Amino acid sequence: MTFVDTHAHLGDPQFDLDRDAVFARAEAAGIARIVEIADHPDEWARAVAIARARPAVARCTLGLHPYYADLYDAAFLPKLRAALDAAPEAVAIGEIGLDYARAEVAHDVQRRAFADVAAAAKSWGVPVVVHCRDAFADLIPILSGVYGGKPEGRRYWGVVHCFTGTPEQAQACAELGFALGADGPVTYKKNDALREAFRRAGLDAAVLETDSPYLPPQSSRGKRNEPSALLEIAAKLAEVWDVPLDEVARRTSANAAALYGWP
Ligand SMILES: [Zn+2]
Ligand SMILES: [Zn+2]
């Protein structure tokens, strides 16, 4: 039984002293694959290096988090395209998206950067990793405008990572061809509504992620998170869907492979 951590930030300096041990603990826990996420152009080379050093277990993404959306300019897309062409390890574009909770960038600037990069990703046939905080009312129309509906010839356009919306928003994202990323918050005691969103969305819509070093699950709240904690998220979802853990492993791993085109 193996799992895929579809979203981690192991390039974070919090892992500088023990990054190899973190990968080893993940492997020992059955986390067979990890996707390293780069949020800022200055992190792209680091993410590629992490993946390139571990070809059997790691891939990466190249993104522009909404925190940094004010960096988006006419030079950005050519730079992104060149970076993708230079790095076969890069399996998606992201994080991109909207953050109305913490980002200091004006909302209209975030919307323009997100819509433009998503449209480019679609035209290039590259999946996207979407971040959304307190912004579903704007996110869903942008996804609808860019993507229109489910893709043909593949399962997903991308993933709404660390999904925290309502069951209705989960449904809307799934109907547009987006997977939903499940993280530590599905294990938090008070999050019955979020568990209900994943229960209704079902196993075919979900991928697992830790967002390490952020969002540790219930048993390690307040600590640095790492990919080996993915098991706690998987175990909670096995309860939510009322299926054996190995079925969660098998199906979410298949979803992750389809999402990133990493067979
Ligand atoms: Zn995020
Ligand atoms: Zn993240």
Write out the chain's pLDDT in tens, 263 residues.
999 999 999 999 999 999 999 999 999 999 999 999 999 999 999 999 999 999 999 999 999 999 999 999 999 999 999 999 999 999 999 999 999 999 999 999 999 999 999 999 999 999 999 999 999 999 999 999 999 999 999 999 999 999 999 999 999 999 999 999 999 999 999 999 999 999 999 999 999 999 999 999 999 999 999 999 999 999 999 999 999 999 999 999 999 999 999 99
Please give the tally of structural domains in the chain.
Answer: 1
d(CA 73, CA 81): 14
Residue with token string 């530590």:
184
pTM of the predicted structure, to 2 decimals: 0.98
Alpha carbon of 130 to ligand 2 centroid (Å): 9
3-state secondary structure of 164: coil
Alpha carbon of 255 to ligand 2 centroid (Å): 19
Alpha carbon of 183 to ligand 2 centroid (Å): 10
Ligand nearest to the CA of 209: 2
Alpha carbon of 209 to ligand 1 centroid (Å): 11
Alpha carbon of 101 to ligand 2 centroid (Å): 15
CATH of the domain at 182: 3.20.20.140
3-state secondary structure of 237: helix
Which of 7, 87, 81, 2 lies closest to 46, judged by CA?
87
Provide the residue range defining the domain that includes 158. Answer: 3-260
d(CA 170, CA 159): 11
Provide CB contacts within 8 A for 110, sequence distance 6+. 66, 69, 97, 98, 99, 103, 135
Ligand nearest to the CA of 132: 1
Alpha carbon of 73 to ligand 2 centroid (Å): 22
Alpha carbon of 9 to ligand 2 centroid (Å): 6
